[in-house]
Amino acid sequence: MKLPAEIKNNPEINVPVEGIRGWKVGGPAGLVVFFEIAPGTVLPEHHHCFQWGIVIDGSIELTIGGETKVYRKGDSYVMPEGEPHSAVIRDGCLAMDYFSDPARY
């Protein structure tokens, strides 16, 4: 499960969690990041600006504001600004996420 080379021609972000890679495309109003997340990756609880995402392939188990749900290909999710969230990726995931802060990464 890999993103196309054309996506990877964009700047790669620095994610401090092993197993997560991302490439960004942005402008003054926000930032879009395409993520490749390896199987077995655990993203600890954190919070930040508004985030909206969609699963391109695979699945992701997200806990948002204390509620846990598995999102699969085609599912979208929202993290309101400041809402604590975490993730477990059991089988791998490709996702595209929009962040309202263009300087997020």
Convert the pLDDT of each residue in 35-91 to its tens digit. 999 999 999 999 999 999 999 999 999 999 999 999 999 999 999 999 999 999 999
Number of compact structural domains in the chain: 1
Residue 76 lies in a domain: yes
Range of the domain at 36: 5-99
Residue 36 lies in a domain: yes
Q: What pLDDT is stored for residue 1 in this prediction?
A: 78
Residue 104 lies in a domain: no
Look at residue 8 and give its three-state secondary structure.
helix
Residue 105 lies in a domain: no
Q: Residue 68 maps to which CATH number?
A: 2.60.120.10
> For 14-33, how does the pLDDT look when each residue is reduced to its tens digit (9 = 90+)?
999 999 999 999 999 999 99
Mode of pairing for the β-strands spanning 30-37 and 20-27:
antiparallel
Residue 94 lies in a domain: yes
Q: What pLDDT is stored for residue 32 in this prediction?
A: 98
Report the candidate in 101, 89, 96 with the shortest Cα–Cα distance to residue 54: 96
